Amino acid sequence: MSIAEGAARVEKAEELGEGVRAALRDLILTLADCKRVLGLRYSDKMLGAPTLEAGIAASSMAQDEWGHGRLTYALLSEFGDDPKGELEHGRPATEYRSMGPLDRGFRSWSETVAAGLLLDTALTVQYGALLDSRYVPVHNRVQKLLDEERFHFQYAAGWARRIAGVSVVRGEFAAALAGYLPEALRWLGRDDAESTQLLLSEGIVTQGPSALRARFLRRVGPVLAETDLAESLGVTQVDGGEWRCDATLRWEGWNDATRRASGVLDEETAARARGDKNRAMLLD
Protein backbone atom coordinates (compact mmCIF):
# COMPACT_ATOMS: atom_id res chain seq x y z
CA MET A 1 0.00 0.00 0.00
CA SER A 2 1.40 3.42 -0.96
CA ILE A 3 1.53 6.35 1.44
CA ALA A 4 -1.19 8.07 -0.54
CA GLU A 5 -3.46 5.05 -0.08
CA GLY A 6 -2.66 4.64 3.59
CA ALA A 7 -3.06 8.23 4.72
CA ALA A 8 -5.70 10.90 4.44
CA ARG A 9 -5.52 12.96 1.27
CA VAL A 10 -4.84 16.68 1.55
CA GLU A 11 -6.82 18.84 -0.87
CA LYS A 12 -5.52 22.31 0.03
CA ALA A 13 -2.16 23.69 1.10
CA GLU A 14 -3.77 25.41 4.09
CA GLU A 15 -4.48 21.97 5.54
CA LEU A 16 -0.74 21.33 5.87
CA GLY A 17 1.33 22.37 8.86
CA GLU A 18 3.36 25.55 8.44
CA GLY A 19 6.72 23.78 8.17
CA VAL A 20 5.46 21.21 5.66
CA ARG A 21 3.76 23.90 3.63
CA ALA A 22 6.96 25.94 3.44
CA ALA A 23 9.04 22.89 2.48
CA LEU A 24 6.59 21.90 -0.24
CA ARG A 25 6.49 25.42 -1.65
CA ASP A 26 10.29 25.43 -1.80
CA LEU A 27 10.28 22.13 -3.69
CA ILE A 28 7.59 23.20 -6.16
CA LEU A 29 9.27 26.53 -6.90
CA THR A 30 12.64 24.88 -7.38
CA LEU A 31 11.18 22.32 -9.78
CA ALA A 32 9.32 25.00 -11.73
CA ASP A 33 12.42 27.20 -12.09
CA CYS A 34 14.51 24.21 -13.20
CA LYS A 35 11.96 23.30 -15.83
CA ARG A 36 11.73 26.83 -17.18
CA VAL A 37 15.47 27.33 -17.49
CA LEU A 38 16.06 23.84 -18.89
CA GLY A 39 13.47 24.65 -21.54
CA LEU A 40 15.42 27.77 -22.48
CA ARG A 41 18.66 25.81 -22.71
CA TYR A 42 17.04 23.24 -24.99
CA SER A 43 15.59 26.03 -27.13
CA ASP A 44 19.07 27.45 -27.66
CA LYS A 45 19.99 24.25 -29.51
CA MET A 46 17.20 24.47 -32.06
CA LEU A 47 19.86 26.06 -34.25
CA GLY A 48 23.29 24.50 -34.32
CA ALA A 49 22.04 20.96 -33.67
CA PRO A 50 23.87 18.32 -35.73
CA THR A 51 20.81 17.51 -37.86
CA LEU A 52 17.53 19.18 -38.77
CA GLU A 53 15.68 16.43 -36.91
CA ALA A 54 17.77 17.06 -33.78
CA GLY A 55 16.90 20.75 -33.90
CA ILE A 56 13.21 19.91 -34.18
CA ALA A 57 13.52 17.53 -31.23
CA ALA A 58 15.23 20.27 -29.18
CA SER A 59 12.30 22.55 -29.99
CA SER A 60 9.81 19.90 -28.92
CA MET A 61 11.61 19.24 -25.65
CA ALA A 62 11.88 22.97 -24.98
CA GLN A 63 8.12 23.30 -25.37
CA ASP A 64 7.55 20.32 -23.08
CA GLU A 65 9.79 21.80 -20.38
CA TRP A 66 8.14 25.19 -20.67
CA GLY A 67 4.74 23.55 -20.29
CA HIS A 68 5.94 21.52 -17.31
CA GLY A 69 7.23 24.71 -15.74
CA ARG A 70 3.92 26.49 -16.15
CA LEU A 71 2.03 23.50 -14.81
CA THR A 72 4.31 23.47 -11.76
CA TYR A 73 4.18 27.24 -11.19
CA ALA A 74 0.37 27.02 -11.24
CA LEU A 75 0.49 24.79 -8.15
CA LEU A 76 1.85 27.72 -6.17
CA SER A 77 -1.44 29.63 -6.30
CA GLU A 78 -2.48 27.43 -3.36
CA PHE A 79 0.41 28.88 -1.37
CA GLY A 80 -0.56 32.52 -1.74
CA ASP A 81 1.62 33.18 -4.80
CA ASP A 82 0.55 34.77 -8.06
CA PRO A 83 2.07 32.43 -10.67
CA LYS A 84 1.07 34.56 -13.66
CA GLY A 85 2.25 37.75 -12.03
CA GLU A 86 5.32 38.44 -9.94
CA LEU A 87 6.38 34.81 -9.63
CA GLU A 88 6.75 34.15 -13.35
CA HIS A 89 7.35 37.66 -14.63
CA GLY A 90 8.79 39.82 -11.87
CA ARG A 91 11.65 38.09 -10.07
CA PRO A 92 15.29 39.11 -10.53
CA ALA A 93 17.90 36.54 -11.54
CA THR A 94 19.12 36.23 -7.95
CA GLU A 95 15.78 34.72 -6.89
CA TYR A 96 15.72 31.89 -9.42
CA ARG A 97 16.25 28.40 -8.02
CA SER A 98 17.22 26.57 -11.18
CA MET A 99 19.99 23.97 -11.11
CA GLY A 100 23.47 25.43 -10.86
CA PRO A 101 24.72 23.66 -14.02
CA LEU A 102 21.99 25.47 -15.98
CA ASP A 103 23.44 28.87 -15.12
CA ARG A 104 25.24 28.74 -18.43
CA GLY A 105 24.00 27.42 -21.74
CA PHE A 106 25.05 24.19 -23.40
CA ARG A 107 28.24 24.81 -25.34
CA SER A 108 27.90 21.76 -27.60
CA TRP A 109 25.50 19.04 -28.65
CA SER A 110 27.47 16.71 -26.37
CA GLU A 111 26.59 18.90 -23.38
CA THR A 112 22.96 19.04 -24.49
CA VAL A 113 22.73 15.25 -24.60
CA ALA A 114 24.62 14.84 -21.31
CA ALA A 115 22.27 17.30 -19.62
CA GLY A 116 19.25 15.55 -21.08
CA LEU A 117 20.47 12.21 -19.80
CA LEU A 118 21.51 13.37 -16.34
CA LEU A 119 19.99 16.72 -15.31
CA ASP A 120 16.62 16.14 -16.94
CA THR A 121 16.48 12.65 -15.45
CA ALA A 122 17.24 13.97 -11.97
CA LEU A 123 14.23 16.29 -12.29
CA THR A 124 12.06 13.43 -13.51
CA VAL A 125 13.09 11.24 -10.59
CA GLN A 126 12.18 14.00 -8.13
CA TYR A 127 8.79 14.49 -9.77
CA GLY A 128 8.33 10.72 -9.53
CA ALA A 129 8.55 11.00 -5.73
CA LEU A 130 5.43 13.17 -5.92
CA LEU A 131 3.37 10.74 -7.99
CA ASP A 132 1.86 9.04 -4.93
CA SER A 133 1.80 12.19 -2.81
CA ARG A 134 -1.16 12.55 -0.50
CA TYR A 135 -1.24 16.25 -1.46
CA VAL A 136 -3.88 15.92 -4.16
CA PRO A 137 -3.09 18.94 -6.40
CA VAL A 138 0.46 17.75 -7.09
CA HIS A 139 -0.53 14.09 -7.27
CA ASN A 140 -3.07 14.90 -9.99
CA ARG A 141 -0.60 16.72 -12.23
CA VAL A 142 2.52 14.58 -12.19
CA GLN A 143 1.53 11.58 -14.33
CA LYS A 144 1.15 13.47 -17.64
CA LEU A 145 4.48 15.17 -17.07
CA LEU A 146 6.22 11.84 -16.42
CA ASP A 147 4.68 10.34 -19.55
CA GLU A 148 6.19 13.13 -21.67
CA GLU A 149 9.56 12.78 -19.98
CA ARG A 150 9.87 9.18 -21.21
CA PHE A 151 10.54 10.55 -24.68
CA HIS A 152 13.22 12.91 -23.34
CA PHE A 153 15.07 10.06 -21.69
CA GLN A 154 14.81 7.74 -24.67
CA TYR A 155 16.02 10.49 -26.96
CA ALA A 156 18.99 11.38 -24.75
CA ALA A 157 19.89 7.71 -24.30
CA GLY A 158 19.83 7.13 -28.04
CA TRP A 159 22.09 10.10 -28.70
CA ALA A 160 24.42 9.06 -25.85
CA ARG A 161 25.04 5.71 -27.51
CA ARG A 162 25.55 7.41 -30.86
CA ILE A 163 27.97 10.10 -29.65
CA ALA A 164 29.99 7.69 -27.53
CA GLY A 165 30.73 5.70 -30.66
CA VAL A 166 32.24 8.68 -32.51
CA SER A 167 35.89 9.10 -31.55
CA VAL A 168 36.00 12.79 -32.51
CA VAL A 169 33.39 13.77 -29.88
CA ARG A 170 33.63 10.88 -27.37
CA GLY A 171 36.07 12.76 -25.11
CA GLU A 172 33.94 15.89 -25.18
CA PHE A 173 30.87 13.87 -24.26
CA ALA A 174 32.69 12.05 -21.45
CA ALA A 175 33.80 15.39 -20.01
CA ALA A 176 30.23 16.71 -20.10
CA LEU A 177 28.95 13.63 -18.30
CA ALA A 178 31.70 13.91 -15.68
CA GLY A 179 30.71 17.51 -15.02
CA TYR A 180 26.98 16.93 -14.77
CA LEU A 181 26.84 13.58 -12.92
CA PRO A 182 27.86 14.76 -9.41
CA GLU A 183 25.70 17.87 -9.86
CA ALA A 184 22.65 15.77 -10.70
CA LEU A 185 23.25 13.47 -7.73
CA ARG A 186 23.78 16.38 -5.34
CA TRP A 187 20.73 18.24 -6.59
CA LEU A 188 18.53 15.44 -5.27
CA GLY A 189 19.36 16.74 -1.80
CA ARG A 190 20.46 15.74 1.68
CA ASP A 191 18.76 12.96 3.63
CA ASP A 192 19.13 14.77 6.94
CA ALA A 193 17.64 18.07 5.77
CA GLU A 194 14.73 19.11 7.98
CA SER A 195 12.57 19.89 4.97
CA THR A 196 13.22 16.43 3.52
CA GLN A 197 12.23 14.74 6.76
CA LEU A 198 9.03 16.79 6.98
CA LEU A 199 7.93 16.00 3.44
CA LEU A 200 8.65 12.29 3.94
CA SER A 201 6.95 12.00 7.31
CA GLU A 202 3.82 13.74 6.01
CA GLY A 203 3.60 11.58 2.89
CA ILE A 204 4.09 14.52 0.55
CA VAL A 205 7.00 12.74 -1.14
CA THR A 206 7.41 8.98 -1.13
CA GLN A 207 11.20 8.71 -1.35
CA GLY A 208 14.11 10.61 0.16
CA PRO A 209 17.35 11.72 -1.52
CA SER A 210 19.34 8.48 -1.16
CA ALA A 211 16.46 6.41 -2.53
CA LEU A 212 16.08 8.89 -5.40
CA ARG A 213 19.79 8.71 -6.18
CA ALA A 214 19.51 4.92 -6.35
CA ARG A 215 16.51 5.27 -8.64
CA PHE A 216 18.40 7.76 -10.80
CA LEU A 217 21.37 5.42 -11.15
CA ARG A 218 19.13 2.49 -12.03
CA ARG A 219 17.90 4.56 -14.94
CA VAL A 220 21.11 6.09 -16.24
CA GLY A 221 23.57 3.34 -15.21
CA PRO A 222 22.68 0.90 -18.00
CA VAL A 223 22.97 3.64 -20.62
CA LEU A 224 26.38 4.71 -19.33
CA ALA A 225 27.48 1.06 -19.32
CA GLU A 226 26.40 0.66 -22.94
CA THR A 227 28.61 3.62 -23.88
CA ASP A 228 31.58 2.08 -22.01
CA LEU A 229 31.86 5.28 -19.98
CA ALA A 230 30.33 4.07 -16.70
CA GLU A 231 33.58 2.87 -15.14
CA SER A 232 35.44 6.11 -15.88
CA LEU A 233 32.57 8.00 -14.22
CA GLY A 234 32.72 5.81 -11.11
CA VAL A 235 29.39 4.16 -11.88
CA THR A 236 29.22 0.41 -11.25
CA GLN A 237 26.63 -2.30 -10.83
CA VAL A 238 27.02 -4.44 -7.72
CA ASP A 239 26.75 -8.16 -8.46
CA GLY A 240 24.21 -7.56 -11.19
CA GLY A 241 21.97 -5.62 -8.81
CA GLU A 242 21.99 -2.01 -7.63
CA TRP A 243 23.99 0.68 -9.36
CA ARG A 244 26.41 2.85 -7.39
CA CYS A 245 28.49 5.94 -8.04
CA ASP A 246 31.64 6.83 -6.14
CA ALA A 247 31.41 10.55 -6.91
CA THR A 248 32.00 12.74 -3.85
CA LEU A 249 29.07 15.04 -3.16
CA ARG A 250 30.15 18.31 -1.58
CA TRP A 251 27.70 20.12 0.68
CA GLU A 252 29.70 23.20 1.68
CA GLY A 253 27.40 26.22 1.44
CA TRP A 254 24.47 24.07 0.33
CA ASN A 255 21.02 25.64 0.67
CA ASP A 256 18.36 22.95 1.11
CA ALA A 257 15.54 25.30 0.06
CA THR A 258 17.07 26.40 -3.25
CA ARG A 259 19.21 23.28 -3.85
CA ARG A 260 22.16 25.46 -4.71
CA ALA A 261 25.51 26.08 -3.08
CA SER A 262 26.66 29.16 -4.96
CA GLY A 263 26.22 31.25 -8.07
CA VAL A 264 23.13 32.80 -9.62
CA LEU A 265 21.35 32.70 -12.93
CA ASP A 266 22.51 35.47 -15.27
CA GLU A 267 20.14 38.39 -15.75
CA GLU A 268 19.88 37.89 -19.52
CA THR A 269 18.54 34.36 -19.06
CA ALA A 270 16.24 35.51 -16.26
CA ALA A 271 14.83 38.17 -18.60
CA ARG A 272 14.05 35.45 -21.13
CA ALA A 273 12.50 33.29 -18.41
CA ARG A 274 10.34 36.23 -17.34
CA GLY A 275 9.35 36.95 -20.93
CA ASP A 276 10.38 40.60 -20.73
CA LYS A 277 10.47 41.17 -24.50
CA ASN A 278 7.23 39.27 -25.10
CA ARG A 279 5.40 41.41 -22.58
CA ALA A 280 6.98 44.59 -23.96
CA MET A 281 5.54 43.68 -27.36
CA LEU A 282 2.24 42.51 -25.82
CA LEU A 283 2.83 38.96 -27.00
CA ASP A 284 2.28 37.17 -23.69
Please give the Cα distance from 126 to 94 (Å, whole number): 23
Q: Among 31, 99, 39, which residue's Cα sits nearest to residue 63?
A: 39
The 10 Å Cβ neighbour count of residue 109 is 21
- pTM (two decimals): 0.94
Say what the pLDDT of residue 47 is.
Answer: 85
Q: Which CATH class is domain 9-280?
A: mainly alpha
At 150-207, the pLDDT tens digits run 999 999 999 999 999 999 999 999 999 999 999 999 999 999 999 999 999 999 999 9
Tens-place pLDDT, residues 104-137: 999 999 999 999 999 999 999 999 999 999 999 9
Question: Residue 275 has what pLDDT?
Answer: 86
**pLDDT tens digits, residue range 222-231?**
999 999 999 9
pLDDT over 90 at 87, yes or no: no
